[in-house]
Amino acid sequence: MSHDNIDLAEILRKRGYRMTPQRQMVLDAVCESGGHVAPERIYEAVNEKSEAVNRATVYRILKFLREIQLVTATASPDGHLLYEIASGEPHHHLLCRKCGADLELPNEHFSRLWQQLFSEFGFRVEEMHVTFQGLCADCQGGRASRR
Protein backbone atom coordinates (compact mmCIF):
# COMPACT_ATOMS: atom_id res chain seq x y z
CA MET A 1 0.00 0.00 0.00
CA SER A 2 1.47 3.29 -1.00
CA HIS A 3 -0.09 5.75 1.40
CA ASP A 4 0.49 6.35 5.02
CA ASN A 5 -2.75 5.76 6.86
CA ILE A 6 -1.60 7.44 10.01
CA ASP A 7 -1.19 10.84 8.46
CA LEU A 8 -4.26 11.08 6.31
CA ALA A 9 -6.68 12.07 9.04
CA GLU A 10 -4.21 14.69 10.15
CA ILE A 11 -3.83 16.03 6.65
CA LEU A 12 -7.57 16.37 6.23
CA ARG A 13 -8.05 18.07 9.57
CA LYS A 14 -5.25 20.50 8.96
CA ARG A 15 -7.08 21.63 5.86
CA GLY A 16 -10.36 21.93 7.70
CA TYR A 17 -11.95 18.67 6.59
CA ARG A 18 -13.03 15.63 8.54
CA MET A 19 -11.82 12.11 8.41
CA THR A 20 -14.61 9.57 8.21
CA PRO A 21 -14.64 5.79 7.88
CA GLN A 22 -15.99 6.20 4.37
CA ARG A 23 -13.16 8.45 3.28
CA GLN A 24 -10.67 6.12 4.83
CA MET A 25 -12.13 3.15 3.01
CA VAL A 26 -12.19 4.93 -0.32
CA LEU A 27 -8.58 5.99 0.10
CA ASP A 28 -7.60 2.45 1.02
CA ALA A 29 -9.44 1.06 -1.98
CA VAL A 30 -7.76 3.52 -4.33
CA CYS A 31 -4.37 2.62 -2.93
CA GLU A 32 -4.85 -1.10 -2.99
CA SER A 33 -6.17 -1.13 -6.50
CA GLY A 34 -2.75 -0.07 -7.70
CA GLY A 35 -3.76 2.75 -9.99
CA HIS A 36 -6.22 3.57 -12.75
CA VAL A 37 -9.44 2.51 -11.08
CA ALA A 38 -12.93 3.34 -12.18
CA PRO A 39 -15.33 4.76 -9.59
CA GLU A 40 -17.54 1.71 -9.88
CA ARG A 41 -14.66 -0.59 -9.02
CA ILE A 42 -13.86 1.47 -5.97
CA TYR A 43 -17.45 1.33 -4.92
CA GLU A 44 -17.39 -2.45 -5.24
CA ALA A 45 -14.16 -2.76 -3.31
CA VAL A 46 -15.39 -0.58 -0.50
CA ASN A 47 -18.68 -2.38 -0.19
CA GLU A 48 -17.05 -5.76 -0.24
CA LYS A 49 -14.57 -4.85 2.40
CA SER A 50 -16.91 -3.81 5.13
CA GLU A 51 -20.23 -2.18 5.85
CA ALA A 52 -22.34 -0.79 3.05
CA VAL A 53 -21.31 2.58 1.76
CA ASN A 54 -23.54 4.47 -0.60
CA ARG A 55 -22.54 4.81 -4.22
CA ALA A 56 -23.21 8.53 -4.21
CA THR A 57 -20.90 8.89 -1.25
CA VAL A 58 -18.09 7.13 -3.09
CA TYR A 59 -18.48 9.47 -6.05
CA ARG A 60 -18.58 12.49 -3.78
CA ILE A 61 -15.50 11.36 -1.90
CA LEU A 62 -13.53 10.69 -5.08
CA LYS A 63 -14.37 14.12 -6.41
CA PHE A 64 -13.43 15.62 -3.08
CA LEU A 65 -10.16 13.72 -2.84
CA ARG A 66 -9.25 14.86 -6.29
CA GLU A 67 -9.97 18.48 -5.46
CA ILE A 68 -7.72 18.39 -2.44
CA GLN A 69 -5.21 16.46 -4.52
CA LEU A 70 -4.90 13.32 -2.47
CA VAL A 71 -5.85 11.42 -5.59
CA THR A 72 -5.50 12.23 -9.28
CA ALA A 73 -7.84 11.36 -12.07
CA THR A 74 -7.16 10.52 -15.68
CA ALA A 75 -9.62 10.07 -18.48
CA SER A 76 -9.35 6.80 -20.32
CA PRO A 77 -9.53 6.75 -24.14
CA ASP A 78 -13.13 5.65 -23.94
CA GLY A 79 -13.99 8.68 -21.89
CA HIS A 80 -14.24 7.58 -18.31
CA LEU A 81 -12.40 8.81 -15.29
CA LEU A 82 -9.84 6.59 -13.64
CA TYR A 83 -8.55 7.42 -10.20
CA GLU A 84 -5.18 6.89 -8.64
CA ILE A 85 -3.43 7.77 -5.41
CA ALA A 86 -1.58 11.04 -5.83
CA SER A 87 1.62 9.86 -4.22
CA GLY A 88 2.15 7.08 -6.71
CA GLU A 89 4.92 7.26 -9.22
CA PRO A 90 3.46 8.81 -12.38
CA HIS A 91 3.32 6.52 -15.33
CA HIS A 92 1.51 6.38 -18.62
CA HIS A 93 0.08 3.88 -21.01
CA LEU A 94 0.57 2.92 -24.61
CA LEU A 95 -2.66 1.21 -25.51
CA CYS A 96 -2.88 -0.70 -28.78
CA ARG A 97 -6.25 -0.27 -30.37
CA LYS A 98 -6.00 -3.56 -32.19
CA CYS A 99 -4.77 -6.18 -29.76
CA GLY A 100 -5.38 -4.24 -26.58
CA ALA A 101 -1.77 -4.54 -25.45
CA ASP A 102 -1.05 -2.13 -22.66
CA LEU A 103 2.58 -1.07 -22.47
CA GLU A 104 3.52 0.90 -19.44
CA LEU A 105 5.54 3.98 -20.08
CA PRO A 106 7.78 5.26 -17.29
CA ASN A 107 7.48 8.87 -16.39
CA GLU A 108 11.05 9.69 -17.28
CA HIS A 109 9.93 10.24 -20.82
CA PHE A 110 7.80 13.08 -19.59
CA SER A 111 9.95 14.73 -17.01
CA ARG A 112 11.75 16.75 -19.67
CA LEU A 113 8.41 17.82 -21.07
CA TRP A 114 7.18 18.70 -17.61
CA GLN A 115 10.15 20.98 -17.06
CA GLN A 116 9.77 22.48 -20.48
CA LEU A 117 6.14 23.38 -19.83
CA PHE A 118 7.13 25.10 -16.64
CA SER A 119 10.02 27.07 -18.03
CA GLU A 120 8.27 28.01 -21.23
CA PHE A 121 4.71 28.65 -20.10
CA GLY A 122 5.08 28.97 -16.36
CA PHE A 123 2.54 26.20 -16.13
CA ARG A 124 2.87 23.72 -13.31
CA VAL A 125 1.42 20.41 -14.41
CA GLU A 126 -0.35 18.47 -11.69
CA GLU A 127 -2.10 15.78 -13.66
CA MET A 128 -0.40 14.39 -16.70
CA HIS A 129 -1.34 10.80 -16.56
CA VAL A 130 -2.14 9.90 -20.08
CA THR A 131 -2.98 6.98 -22.26
CA PHE A 132 -1.85 7.17 -25.84
CA GLN A 133 -3.69 5.11 -28.38
CA GLY A 134 -2.13 3.62 -31.43
CA LEU A 135 -0.70 0.42 -32.83
CA CYS A 136 1.90 -1.65 -31.07
CA ALA A 137 4.84 -3.07 -32.98
CA ASP A 138 3.18 -6.43 -33.54
CA CYS A 139 -0.02 -5.01 -34.93
CA GLN A 140 1.44 -2.61 -37.46
CA GLY A 141 1.72 -5.24 -40.15
CA GLY A 142 -1.95 -6.06 -40.09
CA ARG A 143 -3.46 -2.77 -41.22
CA ALA A 144 -6.05 -2.98 -38.49
CA SER A 145 -8.93 -1.08 -40.01
CA ARG A 146 -8.48 -1.96 -43.63
CA ARG A 147 -10.31 -4.83 -45.24
Partner DNA sequence: ATGGATGCAAAAGTTTTGCAAAGAA
Partner DNA sequence: TTCTTTGCAAAACTTTTGCATCCAT
Interacting residues toward a copy of itself by CB under 8 A:
15-16, 67-69, 73, 75-81, 94, 96-97, 103, 105, 109-110, 113, 116-117, 121-128, 130, 132-137, 140, 145-147
Give least dist CB 16 to DNA, A.
Answer: 7
Dihedral sign of CA atoms 14, 67, 65, 94 in order: negative
Q: Is the backbone of residue 108 left (phi > 0), alpha (psi -120 to 50) or beta?
A: alpha
Cα–Cα distance for residue pair 51/87, rounded to 1 Å: 27
Q: According to CB under 7 A, which residues from 8 to 67 bind DNA?
A: 9, 12-13, 17-23, 38-40, 52-57, 59-61, 63-64
Alpha-helical runs (H) found in 34-88: 39-49, 55-67
Q: Which residues bind DNA (CB under 7 A)?
A: 9, 12-13, 17-23, 38-40, 52-57, 59-61, 63-64, 79-81
